Amino acid sequence: MLLLLLYVNKIKNSKLSNSGELSYKWARNHMKILDATINKLKKNKPLEGITLGFCLHITKETSVLLMGAKELGAKVAACGANPLTTQDDIAAYLASNGINIFAWNNQSNKEYNHCIERVLEYKPNILTDDGADMNIKSHFVKKYNALDIMGSTEETTAGVNRLKAIEQKGKLRYPVIAVNNAYTKHMFDNKYGTGQSTIDGYLRSMNLLFASKRVVVVGYGWVGKGVAMRCKGMGSKVIVTEISAIKALEAHMDGFDVMTMSKACRIGDIFITCTGMINVITKKHLENMKDGAIVGNVGHFDVEINTKFLLKESKSVNEVRANLSECILNNTKKIYLIGRGRVANLVAAEGHPPEVMAQSFSNQILSILYILKNHKTMKNVVSGVPLEIDRQIAINALHAMNINIDTLTKEQKNYMNDWNL
């Protein structure tokens, strides 16, 4: 607690805040639809008297969402959604601008959990989560499960899956909007955002050539599709592993080699896990990899690769570059691990670019306002973003890019509705 206060005071006074301000402004300039949404709504201060609790990766894009929520009248408390992804200059900037921020880079798991609890101590009316760690505490830690929460929004696939599991057990105690499931979120953020920022993270960490390398993309969901597409664009020979026959078929039709991990592990040069599933790269897979193979993860949690084997059971582990651990296995083979197996695009780079986060966070702001207005009639279930919000964000995004589209003519509408043609 004392350490935390010292930390907050330190960052408030630090020069870091100036660099954070420049990054915030850069992001806001490139998040036009979020900026326009905030500017349009702020006159009426729709969030006045409301406390919002955020558990999100503290990046320059997130700072635009948090400052925007404050401009709409909310009291804002926020923590990181991962111990390694906070950008300290952004945390400093937010701290000096009235946001109650409990986040810094390179936290222990204990500090990370403590910061989530600090946010819950503000008694937030609405939560915005990324991965559901805050929601898990508000449901299952005794001192927080009496908090009067109107509802929550959830940013990512992994969090939506966890919250649906709570719902299925009949234990969800307030409504949740799965922002991840909006078309204008996962089709762009998960695919293009993670696609680009994963290349960025891997390059900053290893700075080796992608062209000619065999890259194994594990999982061909929204994230995997974006990552595979961008690796192909870099000139890599992309291999996909899957457990879903439909997704495997799609990857095959998209031109990728599809095989099992037990085969792929022997021939891949670079591995990128994108599944949200536990242990998709096992000890046995790691032992069978080529000497010098590089492994990393961009799924939400650090459970996809057996990092315990690499970091605790290797003969030696050396940090050979920033966010790159050289793990020398007992058979003297070297395997390189990016960002200790945590979201490589955020740990080794800066996460998604502002243009895609503008769509994701417009969904967040509008879903928060939706919960505020409708929570009394909403059921305690995980539901999607209302289609009218999703569609409006797509229209706003097109306008921001100066793109016009056609509308159906009267004749076409009649044609569509007539079965007797």
Q: Which residues contact 185 (CB under 8 A, 6 or more apart)?
A: 179, 359, 360, 363, 385
CA 301, chain centre distance (Å): 10
Window 170-189: contact mask with ligand NAD (x via CB under 6 A): ----------------x---
Residue with tokens 């929460």: 149
Structure tokens at 283: 């000890």
Number of neighbours of residue 270 by Cβ within 10 angstroms:
22
Smaller CB separation from ligand NAD, 36 or 136: 136
Tokens in use for 172?
A: 């969800």
User: Which residue's Cβ has the minimum distance to ligand NAD?
Assistant: 221
Residue placing its CB nearer to ligand NAD in the complex, 147 or 206: 206
Residue 280 binding ligand NAD, by CB under 6 A? yes
Select 243 or 267, whichever has its Cβ closest to ligand NAD. 243
CB of 185 to ligand NAD, least distance (A): 9
Q: Which of 367, 24, 404 lies closest to 185 in space, CA to CA?
A: 367
Q: Provide, rounded to whole angstroms, the least separation between the CB of residue 49 and ligand NAD.
A: 32
Determine the size of the site formed for ligand NAD (CB under 6 A): 30
Reference 206, options 105, 115, 320; nearest CA is 320
Which of 11, 116, 270, 298 is close enough to bind ligand NAD by CB under 6 A? 298
Q: CB nearer to ligand NAD: give 343 or 369.
A: 343
15 burial class (0-12, 13-18, 19+ CB within 10 angstroms)? exposed
Q: Which residues pair with 305 in a beta bridge?
A: 281
Q: Which is nearer to ligand NAD, 107 or 157 (CB)?
A: 157
Using CB under 6 A as the binding rule, whether residue 256 contacts ligand NAD is answered as: no
Strands (DSSP E) contained in 185-330 are 214-218, 237-241, 257-258, 270-273, 294-297, 316-321, 324-328
From the CB of 121, what's the least distance to ligand NAD, in Å?
26
Residue 202 found at the interface with ligand NAD (CB under 6 A): no
Say whether residue 220 binds ligand NAD (CB under 6 A).
Answer: yes
Q: Which of 194, 314, 323, 362 binds ligand NAD (CB under 6 A)?
A: 194
Residues 300-319 interacting with ligand NAD (rule: CB under 6 A) = 300
Binding mask 370-409 for ligand NAD (x = CB under 6 A): ----------------------------------------
Phi/psi of residue 214, nearest 5 degrees: -90, 115
Q: Does 343 bind ligand NAD (CB under 6 A)?
A: yes
CB nearer to ligand NAD: give 51 or 161: 161
Question: Residues 219, 268, 353, 354: which binds ligand NAD (CB under 6 A)?
Answer: 219
Nearest CA among 172, 121, 216, 178 for reference residue 390: 178
By CB under 6 A, is residue 58 in contact with ligand NAD?
A: no
Binding of ligand NAD by 218 (CB under 6 A): yes
Q: Does 78 bind ligand NAD (CB under 6 A)?
A: no
Contact in structure between 74 and 396 (CB atoms under 8 Å): no
Region binding ligand NAD by CB under 6 A among candidate stretches 19-27, 48-56, 238-246, 411-419:
238-246
Which contiguous run of DSSP H or E holds residue 136?
A: helix 133-140
Cα four-point dihedral sign 129, 134, 135, 138: negative
Q: How far is CA 329 from the centre of its chain?
A: 31
Whether the Cβ atoms of residue 269 and residue 290 lie closer than 8 Å to each other:
yes
Taking the complex as a whole, the smallest distance from the CB of residue 361 to ligand NAD amounts, in Å, to 13
Nearest-angstrom CA–CA distance, 255 and 66: 41
Contact region for ligand NAD (CB under 6 A) — 88-96, 113-121, 218-226, 316-324? Answer: 218-226
| Among residues 106, 145, 244, 412, the one that binds ligand NAD under rule CB under 6 A | 244
Q: Stretches 25-33, 72-80, 136-144, 221-229: which one binds ligand NAD (CB under 6 A)? A: 221-229
Rounded to an integer, what is the distance from CA 108 to the centroid of its chain? 20
Q: Please state, in angstroms and rounded to a whole number, the distance separating the CA atoms of residues 118 and 416.
A: 54
Per-residue tokens: 263: 């085969």
Query: Can residue 260 be called a binding residue for ligand NAD (CB under 6 A)?
Result: no
State the greatest distance between any 2 C-alpha atoms of the chain, in Å, as a whole number: 75
Do the Cβ atoms of 46 and 372 come closer than 8 Å?
A: yes
**Per CB under 6 A, does 163 bind ligand NAD?**
no
Binding site for ligand NAD (CB under 6 A): 156-158, 186, 190, 194, 218-224, 241-244, 247, 274-277, 280, 298-300, 343, 345-346, 351
